[in-house]
Chains A and B, each alone.
Chain A
Amino acid sequence: MDLIQKALAEGRTMLSEFEAKQVLAAYGLPVTREYLVSTRDEARDAARKIGGPVVLKGSDALVAHKTEKGWIVADVRNEEEAVQAFDRLTGLPDGPRQVLVQEMIRGKRELVVGLTRDPQFGPSVMFGLGGIFTEILRDVAFRVAPLTKADALDMMAEIRGHKILDAVRGMPPADKDLLADALVGVGRIGLEHPEVQEIDVNPLILDGSRPVAVDALIVLKKD
């Protein structure tokens, strides 16, 4: 993919969230609607085009953990608030030059999808419970790429919290078919792009039944 080669040519070891989502979308992972903006007018325009509440995130390919840096403004209700949020982020000391305006996904169920490159097995796909407590819950399953759709469905059944994917508390069941295709797709990224070292899609939120990648990270090989 061109944008991976471009990032490598620039000496980067990470794709920006905006870039990472383009890679993921190309492999069948549903991602948030979003625009990368550099001016107040663009921010206003993006908020209008998306409609409904949006999230603004400082965008910098070198910053992996935006929450810790205070680079996120959530629940932005209208165009005016979008401009204010843009000003706030770009006005931070060492703040971002570009800002991502993205649709706000409100689902309560947060999942994680990832790719790691194991020295023994090669690219391996992870699926499990996501959100900020991923490492504490450690409720994840792994499969070695290439994955079959059956492997992907098996991973969903394997995690302890698998019932979160069913119809719970008035929420519809997750679209496991779409989710399985996404997991197969993430495995394919690992196989087709040896320069991709790790992928983290966290959280992948269930918007009703539809999984949507809300944040994403792609780490590239340093050499």
Chain B
Amino acid sequence: MDLILQQKLNRMFSPRGIAFFGGVNTPASFGHLVLLSQMRYGYQGRLYPVSEKGGTVAGVPILKSLAEADGPVDLAAVSVPASAVPEVLRQCLANGVAGVQVHSSGFGETGEAEGRRLQDELKAIANQGLRIIGPNCFGLHSPAGGITVLPGSDFSKEPGGLALISQSGGVATDFGYEAARAGLRISKAASFGNGVDVDAATLLEYFAHDPETKVIAAYIEGVPDAGRFLELLKATTPRKPVVVWKAGLTPLGRRAAQSHTGSLAGAADLWTGALRQAGAVSVQGLDEMMDALVGLHYFRNRGSRVALVGGGGAIGVYSSDLAYRHGLDLPAFSEETQAELRRHFPTPGNSMVNPLDTGTPVLDLKILKNICRIVLEREPVDLLLVILLLRPIEREINNFMTMMGLPVPAAGSYLEALVEPLAGLRGETGKDVAVVLDNRAHLAQDIEVEAVARRVAPLFQARGIAVFSDAKRALGAVRLARRS
């Protein structure tokens, strides 16, 4: 890719100084909150709020013009009204700013002549060498660069290998939290809005060449040059997985179709075909996007042979149904394995075939660890999925213990005790392990169960074990991440 463009984007994602235009004197205005958000996230570079009125904001002196900045400015966050944006950008261009993120709306997205004219003016300024993210966007996030979007002041500060390209600011914000919940760490994220200059294709090319980025996720609504986007995708997917959530339908024009082919060629069908052709993982919705990314991150084997262990026959049956529909394989355990497993069960009647019904959802920990070992060591599967029912584990048993006057185990201790053994088996056998923390507790006093789930999930994730909230999403992740 173009080296100058790449260097400018590098500077924007790891800015030595950030200028802020718009609202810096007006408490709680968007521009003001953008500045506070960067401060709260812990941005380490220099902050240069700019306003002719001067004064200070959150203890930082406000410059009357950008020329007064006493250090390099690599990024500017622009929140002034649309009509004032071109003037601010010319100031940035004159002062050597690498690029800007224009939060302001009122451009091409309005569909009105004035908005389109302003957007064209921005394009003309970009042509003079200023890189523009937006307008009508949330801008850039990079844990390594110490910058975040708004809302996003409490995003994780830990850098990782996941990059996001998002046409929507809201999706970018939700993605930041969902990634943290899934135990995924972000390299860089960009909400690019109208994409007047830096668009989805440019970002895809940049992330494809970004050494920190290992996996790319994209939320797109429309692409001005779908052909170029497709070519870039094709070039990227053999090296880095790309997950694409294409929302909305592209206009097919007013052409009246005269053939069957024309009337059948809905934009959605064409996109589906094109994304498959380019080797991308096509998803619909944020949940499915996260499931695909979780699968790509945690499943080293990316295979489709699953062993399922859990309490309750129905879970096994409906999970089998789901696996079948997803085209996954739940290979029946061998006679020898079944005999070996049966030796560990105190009661008869459980299915030992796969899914393995543990009977009680609170199986003795020693037995549970043993059967996980037997399955992983003996069976030719890619993934062991352990379904854990939190309400019985954390609530039901404790209630009865209390009635019997017996000591109640510490909250989360059952789950915590599984982390190291499962992580150990994952390491020894080279097979992947995932857990479902299925929480049906809903009473107000059961809020602790949810707290346990949130506290324990990162322990599993830190040891390479993916955590899902239900079996359906876990199996969906296997399907989306498997190598075809």
Name A's B-contacting residues (CB within 8 A). 14, 64, 112, 114-116, 118-122, 124, 126, 128, 134-135, 138, 140-144, 147, 151, 154-155, 158, 198-200, 202, 217, 219
Contacts and interface: CB of A to CB of B under 8 A. Distances in A.
Residue among A112, A126, A151 facing the most chain B CB atoms (10 A cut-off):
A126
Residue of B251, B261, B272, B274 most packed against chain A (CB within 10 A): B261
Interface of B: 223, 226-227, 230, 250-253, 257-265, 267, 269-270, 272-274, 276-277
Given A121-B226, A121-B270, A122-B227, A116 B276 contact: no
Nearest to A126: B261
Nearest to B223: A120
B262 A119 contact: no
Contact of A140 (B226, B253, B269): B269
Nearest to A186: B261
A135 B261 contact: no
Given A118-B252, A120-B226, A217 B259 contact: yes
Contact of A124 (B223, B258, B260, B273): B273
B265 A118 contact: yes
Contacts of B274: 121, 124, 142-144
B260 to A, nearest CB: 5
B270 A118 contact: yes
B261 A199 contact: yes
Contact of A198 (B251, B262, B272): B262
Nearest to A158: B276
B227 A135 contact: no
A95 B269 CA distance: 39
Contacts of A141: 269, 273
A114 B277 contact: no
27 contacts: A14-B258, A114-B261, A114-B264, A116-B257, A116-B261, A119-B253, A120-B227, A120-B250, A120-B267, A121-B227, A124-B265, A128-B264, A134-B264, A135-B260, A135-B264, A141-B269, A144-B227, A151-B277, A154-B276, A158-B276, A198-B257, A198-B262, A200-B259, A200-B260, A202-B260, A217-B259, A219-B259
Given A120-B226, A121-B227, A217-B259, A155 B273 contact: yes
Given A118-B252, A121-B226, A121-B230, A198 B269 contact: no
Contact of A138 (B223, B253, B261, B264): B264
B227 to A, nearest CB: 6
Given A122-B227, A134-B260, A134-B264, A144 B277 contact: yes
Contacts of B258: 14, 64, 198, 219
Given A114-B260, A118-B265, 18 more contacts: A64-B258, A114-B261, A116-B257, A116-B262, A118-B270, A119-B253, A124-B274, A126-B264, A141-B273, A142-B265, A142-B272, A143-B274, A144-B270, A144-B274, A151-B277, A155-B273, A198-B258, A200-B259
A134 B277 CA distance: 23
A120 B273 CA distance: 13
A61 B262 CA distance: 19
Nearest to A217: B259
Contacts of B265: 116, 118, 124, 126, 142
B252 A140 contact: no
Contacts of B226: 120-121
Specify which of A116, A128, A141, A199 lies most central, judged by the most chain B CB atoms within 10 Å of its CB.
A116
Contacts of A140: 264, 269
A118 B230 CA distance: 14
A122 B227 CA distance: 8
Nearest to B263: A135
B257 A119 contact: no
A112 B260 CA distance: 9
A131 to B, nearest CB: 10
A181 B474 CA distance: 39
B260 A119 contact: no
Contacts of B276: 143, 154, 158
A94 B263 CA distance: 28
Given A151-B277, A158-B276, A144 B230 contact: yes
A37 B260 CA distance: 28
